Amino acid sequence: MIKLALCDLDDTLICHGLPRATDHAIASIQAMIEAGLHFGPVSGRIPNDMDWMFDGHNECYATGAYCNGQMVYIDGELVHAEPIDGAELNRLAALLAKDGRGVLTMYDVWTGNIYNCAYYVTPDANHAQYMLDRFGAAKRWVTHLDEPSYLKANIHVEGTREEQTQVRDMLREEFPSMDFVFPSNFAPLLDVSPHGWSKGSAVGVLARELGITLDEVATFGDSENDLSMIEAVPNSVAMANADAVIKAAARWKIGASADDAAADALFDIADAAKTASMPSFMHE
């Protein structure tokens, strides 16, 4: 029986291009809660994004993991935070400015949402202006970071996916203290997290805190930054629109995000709980 469903948001629960979770998706989460089960988003986004993504239904996101698992919540309470070293982020910003193909983007996780709390970090004013003009994802920039640690960082990176992959691989070699993964099949972004800490790490924290075994957890994902949580549990689920690596790693396959397939699967889990059985999509 599945007691906890953990779901990526962008291109998994919420189709690319939609402004928020559909009413069908919200209803599927509510059905799980009414069945006595647990649901949680596991996303690279910050906690303050959840309110608009779930149209104000805070029961849908009171439990979950954000910033790629760096912030773990149970019933609205922060139970674990895994920060990134500020000095290493400054070193990363300097290398990106010299390289010219990307810019470090930071987010204030405590105020605003991802669209109004982003700022670039680069020591080069020309680089900052170019990236502001190129991506428009931030409204300001700073030359360096002053705090010892931070909870949300990514990189806006230029080029084709092949060129972006070259940047990712270069950074992995230059910064072994951090991990770099693509959060989406579409967005020109690399997510940054402390080395060894991932969405999969957060899955373990959530299961332990809720007193649930890993075989009672289902994880849903589509892209590279979901791989760790897909590999973390026996009942992992890949969307039809998922990367090949996610499809290969996941035990179960369902339809596309565009068809609200994750929501259908959540309804299935809630219905199966009535007889303490596995959902129909998890039958061989």
**What is the second-level CATH architecture of the domain 84-194?**
2-Layer Sandwich (3.30)
Q: Is the pLDDT of residue 284 over 80?
A: no
Q: Output the pLDDT for position 114.
A: 78
Q: Where along the chain do the CATH 3.40.50.1000 domains lie?
A: 4-81+197-282
* H-state helical runs in 61-198: 86-99, 125-135, 161-174
CA distances from 201 to 84, 195, 264 (A): 15, 11, 26
Segment 35-54, tens digit of pLDDT: 999 999 999 999 999 999 99
Q: Where along the chain do the CATH 3.30.1240.10 domains lie?
A: 84-194
Please state the length of the chain: 284
pLDDT band at 269 (very low <50, low <70, confident <90, very high): very high
pTM: 0.93
Query: Of the candidates 120, 126, 180, which has an alpha carbon nearest to the alpha carbon of residue 145?
Result: 120
What CATH number was assigned to the domain covering residues 4-81+197-282?
Answer: 3.40.50.1000
Q: Output the pLDDT for position 99.
A: 95
